[in-house]
Amino acid sequence: MTSPRWLPVALCGILIWAASDAHAQTGRTPPPTTELYRLQQHGGGLGVLLDQSVVILAVGDAGKDRQFVIERQRRDRDWCGSKSADGKCVASDVTVHDWATSSRYCSSLDIIVEGFSDFRETGREHPAIVVTDTPLTTLEFAPAAADGKPPHILSEYVGPVVAWWRDAEHDLKKCWTTTPPVIDGYSLEARLTSPNP
């Protein structure tokens, strides 16, 4: 005897309702999330272009249970991203949307996040005018990180922020995952959108 076709759908609906009802009864709320910094890199030259947006978050109350999370949306375009069988350049256009979180899998992230604050007084607010094929890097201090003052934004093509972020990205290579982190039972929602085509 076969079950009616609607039965799996009905059962699925009941399970979803039960899960949402159980969640409502727990009275739990998502952990507080504070945006600390935003870093962006846009531009390039000689056929190599980068569009990258990074948001740095503190999730949870201050103390031992708080975690840092980095969300990244990155697009790399390279006129010679790979070589064909006959040795000719093949253009590449690669977009990634990934995350890193301070946990036992990425212990260096805490140090990296602390490093952002070092540039509050030392970076340039207006980039020096230079002829370069490197992207413009901007670092924005969120209002919550600036004691209620308007966001402080640093911009440069070359300099300490650019060099520091390059080293930080190297340390973060082993930390990235395409799955949004789940903290205290809640999956974080994306704040970044895909770069413009």
Distance, in Å, from the CA atom of 154 to the CA atom of 110, rounded to the nearest integer, reads 21
pLDDT for the residue numbered 10: 46
Residue 69, beta-bridge partner list: 57, 101
User: Phi/psi of residue 77, each to 5°?
Assistant: -120, 130
pLDDT for the residue numbered 27: 55
| 144's tokens | 């919550």
b (16+ CB within 10 A) / e for 117-141: eebeeebeeebeeeeeebbbbbbbb
What are the residue ranges in the chain where pLDDT is below 70?
Answer: 1-28, 64, 104, 121-131, 143-151, 194-197
Domains in the chain: boundaries: 33-187
Model pLDDT for residues 125-165, shown as the tens digit of each residue: 555 656 677 899 999 887 555 555 666 788 888 888 888 99
Distance, in Å, from the CA atom of 54 to the CA atom of 19, rounded to the nearest integer, reads 33
pLDDT for the residue numbered 50: 94
pLDDT for the residue numbered 147: 59
pLDDT for the residue numbered 73: 96
Q: Is the pTM of this model over 0.85?
A: no
